[in-house]
Structure 1
Amino acid sequence: MNFSMEVIMSHMWTFQRVGGLDQVVFKNAQDIINLPNLDPKLWVALSCPTTGLDFDKRTLTLLDEDQDGRIRIPDILDAISWTRSKILSFETILNASDVLPLSQIDTTTEDGQKLLVTANSILTSLNKSGYDYLTQEDVQKSIKINSGKLYNGDLIFPPSNELSSDMQTFIKSAIKTVGAEKDMSGEEGINLAIAMTFVKNLQTWKQWQTDIRNTQTPFGENSSEIWNLVQTLKPKIDDYFLRVELAQYAPQAQTALNVDEKYIVPTENGLLSDEALAELPLSKIDTHNFLDLVNGLNPLWKTKITRFKSIVSPLLTNPNQLTEEEWQHIQSSLDAYSSLINSSPKMEKLEVTIQPTASIEELSTSTINNIIKKDLFSQFQEIVEQDNKTPISASDVLILEKLVLFHKHLYRLLVNFTSFSDFFSLEKRAAFQLGKLYIDGRCATLCVSVDNIAKHSTMSGYSELCLLYCECTRKGEKKLIAAAITAGQGDLLIEGRNGVFIDNDGNDWDANVVKIITKPISIQQAIWAPYQRIGRLITEQINKWATSKDADIEKTGTQVLQNPETKFDIGKSVGIFAAIGLAIGAIGTALATIFQALFSLSWWQLPLVIIGLFLVISGPSVILAWLKLRHRTLGPLLEASGWAINGQVKINLLLGGLLTSKAELPKNAKRNLRDPMRKRRNKFAIVFWIALVLGIGITGGWLWHKGHIKHFIEQHKQELIQKTSDTEKQ
């Protein structure tokens, strides 16, 4: 497209910076009217699929005129131009009203006046004569009522029982050989163009057949039959004469040219199969240069040869024998006839919705003659003219339906295609948001349609969104969705988990997670992730250590039972205990050093140490998560679903928190902290244990501070080292 800068500057556009993009704002009708002058690079979307959207399906069908399953910028501009030519003011489009005021129909044109008459006729047929507006429901009711009538103004006629049997045969034959269209009721029928093409093809076929019959041959009225017989017998007769020539050339090969014994062995029922007989020679091979038409014939071909003999006998010197020269003469006498048959006329074809399933030659001669003789085409023209005079024309009703739908849905399409204002609104939902997924105490509202998970996940991974691919089932139906999780933790989001998907119509589907694309979900998750990893690591190491020790104990016990005389190695045991003592001593020394360092700090320095440790541990994880969360975009997710997006359409932390909500108690709710399932303890016992722990802690801290515990550990450490040394010497 070429855009003139002067034309672009003639209209004052308003843009809103949202999601990292400059998105056009529709403030008045002129903004919509001037959309053809807006650079396509400033549209958020360039194209979208007609499926997988929360949008009126009929409107999408009408927009997709070429039926390629996609909506593009030209389709939208054409819809704007078409709608503008049918109504007086474009301001009503901004209201996305469910009703089309009749006063808005532009009656300055002949088509507009006709539409107004049709609208009033529809209201009258629905007992709404006093109404001055039309709704989508009114139009659909009218279509439904008229679709059941033979004369409904759509100019398409199925083979209805209301028609004569001859007319039904005419329509059925036309559908078979030319094709069909769908009428208002969805049945297959023909229009005037199909009927006209059908009759032309019949006349062409009949003239061709007449020319064939008028072609002179030596066989008169049997020309057609003998021609078919010659085509059938030609391979076998030619094969016979070739074998005869070979037998004359090499008499010693005569036996091989005849039937081998292995081919004439009967099957279990005592008979040869037709397939086996068909492969055998037509007759016994001899050196005689003729074919005996009576004796020694292959049983499978005998009937055809007998009929062939009865027709061609006047041309034979010996009526019971066929020479090769006579065979060539019979074929040449049919050359003109064959040439005409092989030059089959080309039948006219139409572009139709329902393709033909048969050819003219499959119709019986009586059917063709009856259609032409009774001039059924003229009768069909008469019923088409009568249908054209119907007060409520189907074509006009369809135009009204299109106008009502565009008047109602065009604005919503624009704010979900030209811009994504519905998506960034806190009160509305975008056309690609199919519903809500409830799982793991959360509700995800960014749920999009998926056709192929493997293909979709390849592209959607670039969105940096944590995605759950779910298979949703309901009453035998299945659908695939991808839900973006943008808040909370991700520990319990695993494949196989179940949730509930509520579509925008309020239907609940059982959702099962079949695949996960793991990405950072929130800053909260990033803060606690290092501690969770450390906890999992410690747990795994403890499990490994406990498992190995359990295996060692089991092995040692087995050895003792198998060899009860095994002596206890006191030296080895002392060494083990000494090693354990050294380890405890080392740990104690480390703890002493830590506590000594802490107690050497001032009271105000302790919080700073804790904050520093927190930053060291959680800082890197938070920074990495923050960088990735800043790169979350909607574009790749929609691209994977078939959209073509101009920019990234960023999802910031605020929007991410709104797209996924976590479980929260109502503001006026009360929380009872007493859990009836927990074991109740004596209050005095709880106070005693708390006091005991505090006392031990204070005493221990004071002893650490004075150095008594450190001195005790060092003393016992030296004793253990001495004992270990003495034991090793012994």
Structure 2
Amino acid sequence: MTQATPLTPHPQATTSTQGATSPPGRQAGTAHRWQFIRAGGTDQVVFRSGEDIARIGELDQKLWVALACPTRGIDFDPRTLDLIDADHDGRVRPPEVVAACEWVCARLRNPDVLLQGSDVLTLGDLDGDTPAGARLHEEARRLLQIQGKPEADTLTLADIADRGELLAAMRFNGDGIVTPDTAQDDAVRAAIAEVMRVHGSVPDRHKATPGIDRARTEAFFGEVQVARDWHVQADAGDRTLMPLGDATLAAADAANKVQAKLDDFFARCRVAAFDAQAVTALNPSPKAYDELGANTLDLQAEPIADLPLAPVTPRCVLPLQGTSLNPAWADAIAVFAARTVVPLLGARDEFPEAFSETDWLAIKQQLAPLQALMAKRPGNWAAELPLDKLDALLAAREPLLALIKDDEAAEEHNALLVDLEKLIRLQRDLVVLLNNFVSFKAFYRREGAIFQAGTLYLDGRSCELTVQVQDTAKHAVLAGLAKTCLAYCDCTRQGQKMSIVAAFTAGDVDFLFVGRNGVFYDRQGRDWDATITKLIENPTSVAQAFFAPYKKFVRVIEEQVAKRAAAQEAAGQTGLTGFATRLTTADQAHAADAAKVPTAVPRPTGRVDVGTVAAIGVALGSISAVLVAIFGKFVDLGQWIPVALLGIVLAISGPSMLIAWLKLRQRSLGPILDASGWAINGRMKVNVRLGGMLSQTARVPPGARRIARDPYRDRHGATGVAAAAVLVLAMVVLAWRMDWLDNRLPAALQHGPTAAAAPVQLHNG
């Protein structure tokens, strides 16, 4: 599949909502009428027909919900995404989605079948009027024929998903690699084995069986051909080249082994004949023999082999045997004499004792043509083989190359097989991808978006907005901008581990903290142990924000009380420890005190000073006076008391509620997905109503009833009764002050005109 041309960021089509020009390379035609829905604060396209899919390239990319998504870490068939990902970079972008839509629609007679999402391809749905559709139709028929179903009219994804079974049924699979089992001739099979031995093997596409490809085969037979050409030149019938026939090669080999030493010996003899004074210097010195004698001697040792072949004299003759010959070279010279000297020069009486330089030059002259040919001998493994073996290998060259050619020709069928798999996968998955990429229909209709990893059960609620995370620290930096309460969890199951982030969009967050455990169910229904590792706190509702200041105030008081209690406990423990220490050392301290004369009686420090008591009393009195004055002013408000109470509540909870309202308006899905590798084009709001659906708290099912009271409920006893009595008394006083009870109270207790007029009437009477 070729890579689609990247789209430029200019308007690409004319839609029903805004006008735009057609993209480059596409002729302007009738404007396609799209339909949109409004969800998450964004207009999202609705795919009603196959024409919507076929013309997706005309939809302005500014109206796409997403501009990129990863191929891994989402609940979508990775094989389908790999087929769409043209550049194989692990991300799918709009040009690749457009290319996939156009590719599949060009091969179907009616693209409306894509809306069905079926993995069964009816051969009649292929457009046989186009070359691409006709080739796929023909390949589908061929595949059904191989599977033994020639009369079938449908092809399923299961029929081609396991391509290994299909390739196993074919002799040639299109990878250009042949194995010994591919060959049907013993000679060709032996040649394949020889190529693998010399140049190694490459795994076949099916079951990774070792085989050979064209490059290895051509290199192998090239070496064989070079070796055979050299052998042809070494014709045993050419007396100039081979004076001894087949034995000439052995004679040349024996001469080559001693040539350097012979040249050295005769050169030394020539110098000695030139000047007799050089004889001593040209022979080994006594010092050299002293060094040899200092070690254990080995006749084949390198120091002995480095000595001349024989003592250097002006006579320039070499004994071919005897004690005057260098013992390290005795065997090589003997072979040289038997295979080279005698066959070429004939048997002579003087040879065992005197082999002259003239004889040596004659031998070199006779072997010169062969030596020149030997210098051209190929330096490969094939040069060691005889001519008949090389001819046998070359006879298998053409049949073997024909096998490779036939296998390479099957690659077209293999490519069509991949296209069939791609077509069926797109027919099944393309609409799902569009509803999770171009629009987020699957998410806002709560059908399970591909980015949702599963459901987390924790803190008495279920969280459906969960996303798989690769790097928690990196993800949290960007995801925190979503203004959503996020809990990062590590999930483990049977040795497997993954990380997720769950959005808590309803309920309170008072008991969410790092280390709390829950259960996570992935999209396949498997349960994982989940533990919170990081928490990003944000309000989940305005109601929660209303009580937040009071909860924080109570929490601060509890913390301060706990700190003071801990401090008092520590002080008490310290005092008890000191007292116990003094008791254990009382006898020693008494003896020491008796020896000393007391100078003064210390003043007890445990008593409270009278001035301190007076100061505390004055302070408490002042505080009481202030509280009484405030309460009096509050009571004097009369009918405005409820307004005052409401003002106090708003002053405390108002800022928290305002901040929560602002954050809830900004709560978005985009940063969460962007941190996971997506490129979200819109804001994708998560309002309170949607949040209440994504995070559902525990509720008793409708129709259920409680059959018994909680036997372990808290019992407040007298404290609860006293608190209730004080509350009732306060309400009565408030009602009396507000004249709410004047009609029901005696005249003496009323504040209205009736109570004021009663004494006058009694006096007149």
The two structures have a TM-score, normalised by structure 2, of 0.66
Match of 1:7, SS? coil
Distance in 2, Cα, partners of 1:655 & 1:225: 94
Check if 1:544 corresponds to 2:563: yes
Out of 449, 458, 476, which is 2:477 matched to? 458
- Equivalent positions of 1:131-146 (< 5 A) are 132-140=153-161, 143=163, 145-146=165-166
Which residue of 1 is the match for residue 539 of structure 2?
520
The aligned counterpart of 2:270 is: none
Match among 496, 503, 513 for residue 477 of structure 1: 496
Distance 2:204 2:69 in 1: 27
Q: Displacement, 1:523?
A: 2.4
8 Å Cα contact 2:107/2:130 also seen in 1: no
Checking the alignment, whether the CA contact within 8 Å between 1:434 and 1:503 is kept in structure 2 is yes
- The residue number in structure 2 matching 1:709 is none
Give the Cα–Cα distance (whole angstroms) in 1 for the partners of residues 111 and 727 of structure 2.
82
Query: SS at 2:672's partner residue?
Result: helix
Residue 428 of structure 2: aligned partner? 408
Q: Using the TM superposition, give the Cα deviation of residue 635 of structure 1 relative to its aligned residue in structure 2, in angstroms.
A: 2.3
- The answer to whether the 8 A contact 1:167-1:380 is kept is no
Partner in structure 1 of residue 84 of structure 2: 63
Of 690, 701, 719, the match for 1:655? 690
Residue 494 of structure 1 pairs with residue 529 of structure 2: no
CA 1:606 to 1:116, structure 2 compared with 1: closer, same or farther past 3 Å? Answer: same
1:125 Cα offset (Å)? 6.4
The residue identity in structure 2 corresponding to 1:400 is L
Q: Deviation per CA, 1:429-449, whole angstroms, max 9, x where unpaired? A: 211112111111121112222
Question: Which of 1 and 2 has greater Rg?
Answer: 2
> Equivalent residue for 2:98?
77
Structure 1 residue 222 displacement after superposition? 9.0
SS of alignment partner, residue 512 of structure 1: strand
The Cα of 1:105 is off from its aligned counterpart by: 0.8
Which of 189, 194, 217 is the aligned partner of 1:199?
A: 217
Matched letter for residue 628 of structure 1: K
C-alpha distance in 2 between matches for 1:363 and 1:527? 94
Residue equivalent to 1:419? 439
Corresponding position: 1:621 with 2:642? no
Match of 1:27 among 40, 48, 57: 48
Q: What secondary structure sits across from 2:563 in the alignment?
A: helix
What amino acid maps onto 1:139 in structure 2? I
Equivalent positions of 1:298-377 (< 5 A) are 305=302, 372-375=393-396
Tell me, in whole angstroms, the C-alpha distance in 1 between the residues paired with 2:400 and 2:202: 19
**Structure 1 range deviating more: 565-574 or 591-600:** 565-574
CA drift at 1:506: 1.0
Question: Counterpart of 1:601?
Answer: 637
1:257 aligned residue: none
CA contact (8 A) 1:527 1:618 kept: yes
Q: For the residues of structure 2 that align with 1:620 and 1:679, how far apart are their CA atoms?
A: 33
- After superposition, the Cα gap between the structure-2 partners of 1:68 and 1:223, relative to the gap in structure 1 and judged at 3 Å, is farther
Helix, strand or coil at the partner of 2:75: coil
The CA deviation string for residues 667-716 of structure 1, in whole angstroms up to 9 with x for no partner, is 222235611234889xxx98x9848962897399879x99xxxxxxxxxx
2:508 match: secondary structure: coil
Report the CA distance between 1:225 and its aligned residue: 10
User: Tell me, what secondary structure is at the counterpart of 2:68?
Assistant: strand
Q: Check the 8 A contact 2:485/2:537 in 1, yes or no.
A: yes
User: Which TM-score applies when normalising by structure 1?
Assistant: 0.68
Residue of structure 2 in register with 1:252 after alignment = none
Deviations 1:442-490 (A, max 9, x none): 2111222222222222332222232222222222222222222222222
> What CA distance in whole angstroms lies between the structure 1 residues aligned with 2:42 and 2:294?
88
For 1:387 and 1:312, the matched residues in 2 are separated by 62
Cα pair distance change 1:625/1:293, threshold 3 Å? farther
Q: Does the aligned pair in 2 maintain the 1:118–1:393 contact within 8 Å? A: yes
Residues 292 and 449 (structure 1), Cα distance of their counterparts in 2 relative to 1, 3 Å cut: farther
- How is 1:631-642 mapped onto 2 (pairs within 5 angstroms)? 631-642=666-677
Q: 1:425 to 1:385 in 2, by over 3 A?
A: same
Secondary structure in 1 matching 2:532: strand
Q: Is the 1:155–1:384 Cα contact (8 Å) retained in structure 2? A: no
* Paired position in structure 1 for 2:647: 612
One-letter amino acid matched to 1:405: R
Residue type at the aligned position of 1:646: N
| Identical columns (%) | 33
SS at match of 2:22: helix
Separation (CA, whole Å) in 1 of partners of 2:530 and 2:548? 27
How many residue pairs are counted as aligned between the two chains?
A: 609
Query: Which of 725, 732, 737 is the equivalent residue of 1:694?
Result: 725
Structure 1 position 503, deviation (Å): 1.0
SS of 1:46 mapped into structure 2 = strand
Whole-angstrom CA distance in 1 between matches of 2:528 and 2:539 = 27
Kindly indicate whether residue 526 of structure 2 is the aligned counterpart of residue 507 of structure 1.
Answer: yes
Deviations 1:126-148, CA, capped at 9 Å, x for gaps: 6766654332223336x354244
CA distance in 2, matches of 1:566, 1:701: 58
Any stretches of 5+ residues in structure 1 without a counterpart? 230-286, 322-335, 345-359, 707-730
Matches within 5 A, 1:253-264: none
Please report how far the alpha carbon of residue 37 of structure 1 lies from its aligned counterpart in structure 2 after TM superposition: 2.9
3-state DSSP of counterpart to 1:470? strand
1:588 to 624, 628, 652: 624
Taking the aligned partners of 1:60 and 1:52, their CA distance within structure 2 comes to: 12
Name 2:419's counterpart in structure 1: 399
Aligned to 1:51: 72
CA separation in 1, counterparts of 2:58 and 2:300? Answer: 80
Structure 2 distance, partners of 1:311, 1:106, is 90
Letter in 1 for 2:22: V
Name the CA shift for 1:111/1:533 in 2 (closer, same or farther; >3 Å): closer
**Cα separation, partners in 2 of 1:567 and 1:605, compared to 1, 3 Å:** same
Q: Which has the higher contact order (CA 8 A, sep 6+)?
A: 1
Change in CA separation of 1:607 and 1:303 when aligned onto 2, cut-off 3 Å: farther
- CA shift at 1:535, angstroms? 0.8
Summarize the Cα distance change of 1:291–1:225 in structure 2 as closer, same or farther, 3 Å threshold: farther
Which amino acid letter does the alignment assign opposite residue 7 of structure 1? S
1:240 maps to: none
Gapped regions of structure 2 (runs ≥ 5) = 1-6, 13-19, 235-240, 242-250, 261-283, 319-324, 329-371, 587-600, 738-765
Query: What amino acid maps onto 2:192 in structure 1?
Result: F
Deviation at 1:388, TM superposition (A): 6.5
- Matched with 2:358 is none
User: SS state of the match for residue 78, structure 1?
Assistant: helix
Q: For the Cα contact (< 8 Å) 1:474–1:510, is it kept in 2?
A: yes
Q: Secondary structure at the match of 1:138?
A: helix
Secondary structure class of the residue paired with 2:489: strand
Task: State the alpha-carbon separation in 2 of the partners of residues 81 and 175 from structure 1.
Answer: 48
Look up the match of 1:439: 458
RMSD over aligned CA atoms reads: 5.3
Structure 2 CA distance for aligned equivalents of residues 363 and 136 of structure 1: 54
Pairs within 5 Å for 1:116-265:
116-120=137-141, 122=143, 132-140=153-161, 143=163, 145-149=165-169, 151=171, 153-155=173-175, 157=177, 159=179, 167=189, 170=192, 180=202, 183=205, 185-187=206-208, 195-205=213-223
Q: 2:338 aligns to what?
A: none
Question: In the alignment, is the contact (CA less than 8 A) between 2:468 and 2:676 conserved in 1?
Answer: yes
Separation (CA, whole Å) in 1 of partners of 2:438 and 2:723: 70
Contact 1:294 1:306 in 2 (8 A): no
Which residue identity lines up with residue 418 of structure 1 in the other structure? V
Matches of 1:294 and 1:21 in 2, distance apart?
99
The answer as to whether partners of 2:475 and 2:676 remain within 8 angstroms in 1 is yes
Aligned partner of 2:123 in structure 1 is 102
Compute the displacement of 1:77 (Å): 2.1
CA offset at residue 577 of structure 1?
Answer: 4.1
Classify 1:83/1:310 alpha carbon distance in 2 versus 1 (closer, same or farther; 3 Å). Answer: farther
SS in 1 for 2:92: strand
Distance in structure 2 (CA, Å) of the matches to 1:700 and 1:422: 54
